[in-house]
Amino acid sequence: MTEAHCELQSEVARLIVDALNLDIKPEAIQPEARLYGEGLGLDSIDILEVALVVSKRFGFQLRTDSADNARIFGSLASLTEHIAAARTQ
């Protein structure tokens, strides 16, 4: 993993923690741990909130009806990969 990718992953973890007011440190989010349900324990409302802050921060739209959402929001690592490929900012 490149340094830029590591920095992006750290930024995404901070965005998740800040947006949801989680009571953990961003670096405590394991890159491969599930975000939804077991793992970090996010629910569908949390995922919508994360999608909103990611869209605002990185300049692209995450669609709520996308068939890829289960993969995109599967883990911090998969969300970071999607952002790296799609972002405009």
Domain boundaries, the chain: 3-86
Angle between helices 76-86 and 44-58 (to 10 degrees): 30
CATH class of 3-86: mainly alpha
* Mean pLDDT estimate for the chain: 91
More reliable by pLDDT, 9 or 61: 9
Residue 54 has pLDDT above 90, yes or no: yes
pTM: 0.91
Q: Give the pLDDT confidence of 18-44 residue by residue, as tens digits.
A: 999 999 999 999 999 999 888 899 998
Cα 40 to Cα 1: distance, rounded to the nearest angstrom = 22
